[in-house]
Structure 1
Amino acid sequence: MAALALPLAVVGLGVPEQPAAASDNGLSVRPAMGWSSWSFVRRWPTEAKLKAQADALVSSGLKDHGYVYINLDDFYQKCDSNGFVVDQYGRWAVDEAKFPSGIKALADYIHSKGLKFGFYVTPGIAKNAVTRNTPIEGTSYRAKDIADTSKQEKNYNCKNMYYIDYSKPGSQEFVNSWARQFASWGVDYLKIDGVGSHDIPDVRAWDKALRATGRPINYALSNNLAIADAPTWRQLANSWRTQGDVECYCGPGPNGSGFPLTDWAHITSRFNSAANWQQYAGPGGWNDLDSLEIGNGDQVGLTADQRRSHLTLWAMAASPLLLGTDLTALTATDKAMLTNDRLIAVNQDGVAARRISNSGGRQVFSKREANGDYIVALFNTNTSGNQTVGVNWSQVGFSGAAEVTDLWSGASAGTVTGSYSAALRPGETRLIRATPQSGNTVRHEAENASYTVGSTIDSNHGGFSGTGFVNTPNAAGAHVEWTVESATAREAALTLRYANGTTAGRPMDVSVNGVVVSAGRAFDGTGAWTTWADSTLTVPLKAGSNTVRVTATTANGAPNLDYLDRG
Structure 2
Amino acid sequence: MKRWRAVGTVLVLGMAALVGPAAPAPASDNGLSIRPAMGWSSWSFVRRWPDETKMRAQADALVSSGLAAKGYVYVNLDDFYQKCDANGFVVDSFGRWAVDATKFPGGIKALADHVHAKGLKFGFYVTPGIAKNAVTSNKPIEGTSYHAQDIADTTQTHKNYNCKNMYRLKYSHPGAQAFINSWANQMASWGVDYLKIDGVDATTVADVEAWDRALRQTGRPITFALSNNLPVAQATTWRRLANSWRTQGDVECYCGPGPNGSGYPLTDWAHVVSRFTSAASWQQYAGPGGWNDYDSLQIGNGDQVGLNADQRRSHMTHWAMIAGPLLLGTDLTALTATDLAMLTNERLIAVDQDGVAAQRVVNSGVNQVWRKREPNGDYIVALYNTGTSGTSTVSVTWSQVGFTGSAEVTDLWSGAAEGTVAASYTATLRPGETRLIRARPAAAAPRYEAEDATIFQGAVESNHAGFTGTGFVNSDNVAGSYVEFAVNAARSGPRTLTVRYANGTTADRPMDLTVNGVVAQAGRSFGPTGSWASWADSALTVTLNAGANTIRLTGATAYGGPNLDRITLT
- Same fold by TM-score greater than 0.5: yes
Q: Of the candidates 364, 373, 379, which is equivalent to residue 368 of structure 1?
A: 373
Structure 1 residues 535, 145: closer, same or farther in 2, change over 3 A?
farther
* Kept in 2: contact 1:455–1:472 (CA 8 A): no
Q: Of the candidates 185, 194, 215, which is equivalent to residue 180 of structure 1?
A: 185
**What is residue 64 of structure 1 aligned with on the other side?**
69
Whole-angstrom CA distance in 1 between matches of 2:484 and 2:200:
36
Aligned length: 551
**What is residue 269 of structure 1 aligned with on the other side?**
274
For residue 199 of structure 2, give the secondary structure of its aligned residue in structure 1: coil
**What is residue 84 of structure 2 aligned with on the other side?**
79
**What is residue 9 of structure 2 aligned with on the other side?**
none
Q: Of the candidates 245, 250, 264, which is equivalent to residue 250 of structure 2?
A: 245
AA of the residue aligned to 2:251: V
AA of the residue aligned to 1:112: A
Offset from partner CA, 1:155-175 (integer Å, 9 cap, x none): 000000111121112111111
Whole-angstrom CA distance in 2 between matches of 1:481 and 1:162:
57
For residue 170 of structure 1, give the secondary structure of its aligned residue in structure 2: helix
Structure 1 residues 558, 61: closer, same or farther in 2, change over 3 A?
same
Whole-angstrom CA distance in 1 between matches of 2:347 and 2:132:
49
* Kept in 1: contact 2:461–2:472 (CA 8 A): no
**What is residue 3 of structure 2 aligned with on the other side?**
3
**What is residue 296 of structure 1 aligned with on the other side?**
301
Offset from partner CA, 1:228-285 (integer Å, 9 cap, x none): 1111111110000011000000000000000000000000000111111111111111
Structure 1 residues 556, 564: closer, same or farther in 2, change over 3 A?
same
* Kept in 2: contact 1:494–1:566 (CA 8 A): yes
**What is residue 534 of structure 1 aligned with on the other side?**
538
Mapped pair 1:122 → 2:112:
no
Q: Of the candidates 474, 479, 483, which is equivalent to residue 477 of structure 2?
A: 474
For residue 283 of structure 1, give the secondary structure of its aligned residue in structure 2: coil
**What is residue 359 of structure 1 aligned with on the other side?**
364
Structure 1 residues 341, 132: closer, same or farther in 2, change over 3 A?
same
Q: Mean Cα displacement is larger for which, 173-182 or 300-309?
A: 173-182
Mapped pair 1:496 → 2:487:
no
Counterpart mapping for 1:365-404 below 5 A: 365-404=370-409
AA of the residue aligned to 1:534: S
Distance apart, 1:490 and its partner CA: 8.3
Structure 1 residues 357, 566: closer, same or farther in 2, change over 3 A?
farther
AA of the residue aligned to 1:297: G
* Kept in 2: contact 1:192–1:220 (CA 8 A): yes
Structure 1 residues 396, 503: closer, same or farther in 2, change over 3 A?
closer
**What is residue 145 of structure 2 aligned with on the other side?**
140
AA of the residue aligned to 2:117: S
Mapped pair 1:405 → 2:410:
yes
Whole-angstrom CA distance in 2 between matches of 1:314 and 1:5:
38
Offset from partner CA, 1:22-44 (integer Å, 9 cap, x none): 11111101000000000000000
Whole-angstrom CA distance in 2 between matches of 1:489 and 1:144:
74
Distance apart, 1:50 and its partner CA: 0.1
Whole-angstrom CA distance in 1 between matches of 2:82 and 2:189:
18
**What is residue 163 of structure 2 aligned with on the other side?**
158
Q: Of the candidates 210, 229, 241, which is equivalent to residue 205 of structure 1?
A: 210
Distance apart, 1:399 and its partner CA: 1.4
* Kept in 2: contact 1:508–1:558 (CA 8 A): no
Q: Of the candidates 325, 343, 368, which is equivalent to residue 338 of structure 1?
A: 343
Q: Of the candidates 331, 350, 357, which is equivalent to residue 326 of structure 1?
A: 331
**What is residue 289 of structure 2 aligned with on the other side?**
284
**What is residue 444 of structure 2 aligned with on the other side?**
439
- Over aligned residue pairs, what C-alpha RMSD do you find? 3.6
For residue 148 of structure 1, give the secondary structure of its aligned residue in structure 2: strand
Mapped pair 1:233 → 2:238:
yes
Whole-angstrom CA distance in 1 between matches of 2:232 and 2:130:
26
Whole-angstrom CA distance in 2 between matches of 1:482 and 1:51:
57
Q: Percent identity?
A: 66
Distance apart, 1:501 and its partner CA: 4.9
Whole-angstrom CA distance in 2 between matches of 1:157 and 1:272:
30
Whole-angstrom CA distance in 2 between matches of 1:522 and 1:94:
74
Whole-angstrom CA distance in 2 between matches of 1:201 and 1:67:
32
**What is residue 429 of structure 1 aligned with on the other side?**
434
Mapped pair 1:19 → 2:32:
no
Whole-angstrom CA distance in 2 between matches of 1:552 and 1:309:
45
* Kept in 2: contact 1:520–1:553 (CA 8 A): no
Distance apart, 1:483 and its partner CA: 12
* Kept in 1: contact 2:247–2:278 (CA 8 A): yes
**What is residue 106 of structure 1 aligned with on the other side?**
111
Whole-angstrom CA distance in 1 between matches of 2:40 and 2:546:
45
For residue 274 of structure 2, give the secondary structure of its aligned residue in structure 1: helix
Structure 1 residues 470, 126: closer, same or farther in 2, change over 3 A?
same
Structure 1 residues 90, 508: closer, same or farther in 2, change over 3 A?
farther
* Kept in 1: contact 2:510–2:557 (CA 8 A): no
**What is residue 559 of structure 1 aligned with on the other side?**
562
**TM-score, structure 1 as length reference:** 0.88
**TM-score, structure 2 as length reference:** 0.88
Whole-angstrom CA distance in 2 between matches of 1:345 and 1:387:
28
AA of the residue aligned to 1:496: V
Whole-angstrom CA distance in 2 between matches of 1:183 and 1:246:
29
**What is residue 10 of structure 2 aligned with on the other side?**
none
Structure 1 residues 379, 524: closer, same or farther in 2, change over 3 A?
same
